[in-house]
Amino acid sequence: MANPQVGFIGLGIMGRPQCHNLIKAGFPLIVWNRSQPGIDTVVGYGALPGRSPADVAAKSDVTITMVTDSPDVREVVLGPNGVIEGARPGSVVIDMSTISPAVTREIAEALRARDVQMLDAPVSGGEVGAIAGTLSIMVGGEEEVFNRCRSVLEAMGKNIVHIGPNGAGQTVKLCNQVAAVLNILGMCEALILAARSGVDPEKMLQAVTAGAAGSWMLSNLAPRILKSDFAPGFMIRLQQKDLRLALEAASEMNLPLPGTALMNQLFRAVEAEGGGDLGTQAAIKALEKLAAFRVGE
């Protein structure tokens, strides 16, 4: 697809820098958001404002959605003045939110009935990756449609993998979140074990991160815990949404995910004390309370 007109719906923390990168890559862009500040910011980058999701889709070859949860995607795509009401036959909808694989398949089927194709393309890499244009993107949908849209995705990410049919991208994103939170648990338990034993946690990290137990969480989040820095790279309440989706998908298959369920409960303990907007490294607070011992400064 040569230089398609791109529409973008959802101009939050992730959407704004994604739009900036699309514009820098030369794609003409029309945007819509539920609140005006996001629109104003991205229009400042060079985008045009749309009147509604339907209006954005009517003027776009590729329409991207980047919103919070399954109901939000269903609303902006299938609801009143939604994408489905404006999307032209032969166009493509790319949902980059993290939502239910089952809802993804439902939306894809509704669009297909209007001769509109869909890719589910959730991302990993957070705001830093969105700004740098280095997001990992896991894509579900027809391979031919994926190939047509590759240049659009490459403007926003680096590690772009076609996984399988619609829903497969969302399933792999949930796998990513499961692996991420269990790495957080390992990191937190290692820190509290070191600190409670009287070992310098910084020296423990220096030794462990260079070996087989090393992880992104140990290298990036553990030092923030030691400084009592709980500012979010990714908020607990958003991680909880993703864990809910993973546990729901597992429940549909009668599949046990005991570690994921445990992390859901530990995060819930932090939320219960008002920590839902803290970064996921604040999981340490739940372990600290159980141990009656504090790791950080």
Q: Please name which of 172, 130, 166, 126 lies closest in space to residue 146, comparing C-alpha atoms.
A: 166
The per-residue pLDDT for 1 is 61
Domain limits, CATH 1.10.1040.10, in the chain: 172-291
CB 217 within 8 A of CB 183: yes
CB 140 within 8 A of CB 166: yes
DSSP H helical ranges for 29-100 = 36-45, 53-58, 70-78, 83-86
**CA 17, CA 170: separation in Å to the nearest integer?**
21
Multiple choice CATH, 6-165, 3.40.50.720, 2.30.30.170, 3.20.20.150, 1.10.760.10: 3.40.50.720
The per-residue pLDDT for 233 is 85
Domain 172-291 in CATH: superfamily?
A: N-(1-d-carboxylethyl)-l-norvaline Dehydrogenase; domain 2 (1.10.1040.10)
173 part of the active site: yes
Which residue do the tokens 């140990």 mark?
218
Catalytic residue among 24, 173, 241, 289: 173
CB 19 within 8 A of CB 42: yes
Domain limits, CATH 3.40.50.720, in the chain: 6-165
pTM: 0.93
Its sign, for the CA torsion 251, 174, 241, 85, is: negative
Residue 43 burial (CB count, 10 A) = 16
Residue pLDDT tens, the chain, 297 long: 668 999 999 999 999 999 999 999 999 999 999 999 999 999 999 999 999 999 999 999 999 999 999 999 999 999 999 999 999 999 999 999 999 999 999 999 999 999 999 999 999 998 899 999 999 999 999 999 999 999 999 999 999 999 999 999 999 999 999 999 999 999 999 999 999 999 999 999 999 999 999 999 999 999 999 999 999 989 999 999 999 999 999 999 999 999 999 999 999 999 999 999 999 999 999 999 999 999 976
Contacts for 170 with CB less than 8 Å, ≥ 6 apart: 98, 99, 100, 101, 104, 120, 122, 140, 245
**CA 29, CA 156: separation in Å to the nearest integer?**
14
